[in-house]
Structure 1
Amino acid sequence: MAGDAMSWVSKFDSAAAIKLVMELMAIPGRSKQEGNIVELIVSKLLAAGVSPSNITTDNANRRIPGGGEVGNLIVKLPGTQRGPRRLLMAHLDTVPICVGCQPVLDRDIIRSANASTGLGGDDRAGVAVVLTAILELLRLNLPHPPLTLFFAVQEEIGLYGARFVQASKLGSPKFCFNWDGGDPRFVSVGATGDYAIEIEIEGLASHAGVHPERGINAITIASLAIADLTENGWHGLIEKGKHRGTSNVGIVHAGEATNVVTPSLTLRAEARSHDPVFRKKIVDAYQKAFAKAAKSVKSADGKTGKVTFRSDLKYESFRLDPQEPVVSLAESAVAHIGLTPELCVGNGGLDANWMTAHGFPTVTLGCGQRDIHTVNEWLHVPSFLQGCQIAMLLASGDLG
């Protein structure tokens, strides 16, 4: 750790940071139910002296499909020194498996004492990084440029908070940093894009024992289409020449009885690729496969099924130029705490996808998350604390 930028490190309250992240992870807050976690964050900021007038929630929840308890939490702090505004962000929600988490600390690891739950480090660790950095800046009275804290809702179910954020409330930040990952060495400068696919198959009911030939089985149509996609390399890992992508059929609902030829089926799938043109080809392959399958399954009197196909761009891919100032700042902060920064590009979606699409190029950094979305999830405490220090450096604007 070198330079005046780290002069505060001996005063950094690691114990308080660990206590905070455990407190945050213990609060249930699955997607659309983030109200309690917002209340806790606001209470911490008010207790630290942040003016209520600097704290707001936007109306994203009123525009997100299906609504939600609360919108994005946005905090704008005036600078104590001049400089471009900086934004620090993380998402508030956790996946359902984390409800009931009981965080316990065992040396350098935090796990859930409840063996049937995940931990919620994704992304409460990121929330704790952002909140710790600001609380420590205020406690230590460290100078900083104008800052925006952005705590996004509903990331886990489609990056909805970042997608529907009232961008005008963010204060036109020039440098944006998102905490949502594992190793603090990694500086994520890009991520894939994703199409959501919804398919409805309409077959024809008939008694499966008396006259099965009079029916059209919707499950048969779906099975043939999925088999076609798999056989022709359009399902799972997709490699077509120089083009790469993935797709997955993830949810299927059909049938209520075994003695009825299944008349209807709904299916949800996804298609991902960093290449927007190739991603659309994956979607087109799905549409063609299901249309072909529907035509091939006929009742005794020649009737066929019907397919209704819908696709929606959940988020576009992005890749920042390594020479962008926001990337250089992130690399510098990582190096300042003694780590070797490593640029990377992810195959999962990030709030940074939509932030960059809104005109706010955003780098994503690590905060110690491990084995996320599983009951084996754990948080690597040293990595989490390194994430907090990196955030403090980026928030202070002092990397001299």
Structure 2
Amino acid sequence: MSNDTVDSRQVVMDLLRIAGGSGQETQVLAAIERKLLDAGLDPTQMRYDEANTRAGFGEVGNLIVTLPGTISAPRRLLMAHVDTVPLCLGAVPLIDGEYIVSESAETALGGDDRSGAAVVLTTLLRILNERPEHPPLTFLWTIQEEIGLVGARYVDPEELNHPELCFNFDGGPPHSVIRGATGDSHMDIIVRGLASHAGAHPEQGISAIVIASMAIAELQRDGWLGLIEKSHGRGTSNIGYISGGAATNVVTDLITIRAEARSHDPQFRQEIVDTIQRAFVTAAETLANAAGAHGTVEFKSRSKYEAFALEEDSAVVTAAKEAARGAGLTPETRISNGGLDANWISSHGLPTVTIGCGQEFIHTVSERLHLPSFENACEIAWRLALDNA
């Protein structure tokens, strides 16, 4: 790959060294900003939006750069998220042969998604240095992806100048073009029982733990937890968080639960949510104390992101595949069962595919970044930015 003006490996190493969990991305974005200004970017072409303010959380908004085109063509967007999961805190990147790994066996690397952020940054730095002919371009570094695609959700399409072809750089191999992804619904469940002395008068209590246990057992038995395969739909669900109780001698009167449901079919995903709610309500109505009293359930759900699927022959999918071929790869398309910033960007009416950057074993201490794949992703991004697949 010809990349004489920008050292992409140095760019990604620089970004990997900076701590920046979800909601704490200021230092990462400041480093990107410094590199761009040092390369000669006009400061008026760069701005931060108010995605964090709209979300009600976080230090800083998304970083957006818009360039006018030197040729007449539809505007293109290149994007990646900059936050990492907590397991990456304190990571020190180390080059080990063809891989970048974490120096410590106790931390993840953060290649998810500093590698994507570096791909996008390298592309813009090369444009600033080499000044090639290119279509109108928007570059976007999003915040808080790891906690619900927040930056992508709250970005304003007007501030992106309405690009027609959008390319998100995130996990996986660079020949893999993700043209769709599942939707996710989040659930907050509060189970209220009645406290009593667990030794003197347990029969007077109503255990919130027992109510939840009854509901969860029913859902597991009937195939509505984990992988869900019904004749009319497929999806997944998970009870991921349970908190409550303070002492063994008190019948627990309150627990809080967080759960999720995923499916590519919005109607079936809602059916999963409704089934989970019904199981908890039924359990509360079934369990009674000696006086015949029952517990209660407070149940709230919300969409974290909606499913989408682009056609194989859509312009953005075709462009991504052609760029991969131009980089010497054999492209493959797939639909993801995980959420991506592309979910929300597509929901904003901007067709978006996701291209991998060589990240492996993400969200684990075994995480590593395959450098040849990362460099292939840089080549793909360069071709897409120049409309030169």
**Shorter-chain-normalised TM-score: which range?**
over 0.9
Q: Find the counterpart in structure 2 of residue 376 from structure 1.
A: 366
Q: Residue 325 of structure 2 aligns to a residue in which SS?
A: helix
User: Of 52, 56, 67, which aligns to 2:47?
Assistant: 56
Aligned-pair Cα RMSD in Å: 1.0
Aligned 1:154-169 pairs, distance under 5 A: 154-169=144-159
User: Of 26, 42, 47, which aligns to 1:35?
Assistant: 26
**2:143 matched to 1:153?**
yes
User: Of 151, 162, 166, which aligns to 1:172?
Assistant: 162
**2:102 matched to 1:120?**
no
TM-score, normalization: structure 2? 0.98
Q: Find the counterpart in structure 1 of residue 8 from structure 2.
A: 17
Q: Find the counterpart in structure 1 of residue 197 from structure 2.
A: 207
CA offsets, 1:333-378, max 9 Å, x none? 0011111110100000011111111010101001011000111100
Q: Find the counterpart in structure 2 of residue 3 from structure 1.
A: none
**2:85 matched to 1:95?**
yes
Cα distance in 2 for residues equivalent to 1:11 and 1:156:
30
User: Of 243, 249, 252, which aligns to 2:242?
Assistant: 252
Q: Find the counterpart in structure 2 of residue 316 from structure 1.
A: 306
Residue range with higher mean Cα deviation, 245-254 or 291-300: 291-300
User: Of 224, 227, 246, which aligns to 1:237?
Assistant: 227
Contact 2:5 2:129 in 1 (8 A): no
- Matched length: 389
Aligned 1:248-397 pairs, distance under 5 A: 248-397=238-387
Q: Residue 172 of structure 1 aligns to a residue in which SS?
A: coil
**2:189 matched to 1:192?**
no
Any gaps of 5 or more consecutive residues in structure 2? none
Cα distance in 2 for residues equivalent to 1:162 and 1:134:
20
User: Residue 13 of structure 1: CA displacement?
Assistant: 5.4
Residue range with higher mean Cα deviation, 137-146 or 332-341: 137-146
Q: Find the counterpart in structure 2 of residue 44 from structure 1.
A: 35
Cα distance in 2 for residues equivalent to 1:305 and 1:243:
32
Q: Residue 39 of structure 1 aligns to a residue in which SS?
A: helix
Q: Find the counterpart in structure 2 of residue 4 from structure 1.
A: none
Identity of aligned residues (%): 54
CA offsets, 1:244-290, max 9 Å, x none? 10000000001010100001000000000000110000001101100
CA change 1:118–1:13 in 2 (3 A) is farther
User: Residue 242 of structure 1: CA displacement?
Assistant: 4.5
TM-score, normalization: structure 1? 0.96
Q: Find the counterpart in structure 2 of residue 227 from structure 1.
A: 217
Cα distance in 2 for residues equivalent to 1:12 and 1:259:
70
Q: Residue 156 of structure 1 aligns to a residue in which SS?
A: helix
Q: Residue 100 of structure 1 aligns to a residue in which SS?
A: coil
CA offsets, 1:30-84, max 9 Å, x none? 000000011000001101111110000001111114x110001000112222211
The residue identity in structure 1 corresponding to 2:2 is S
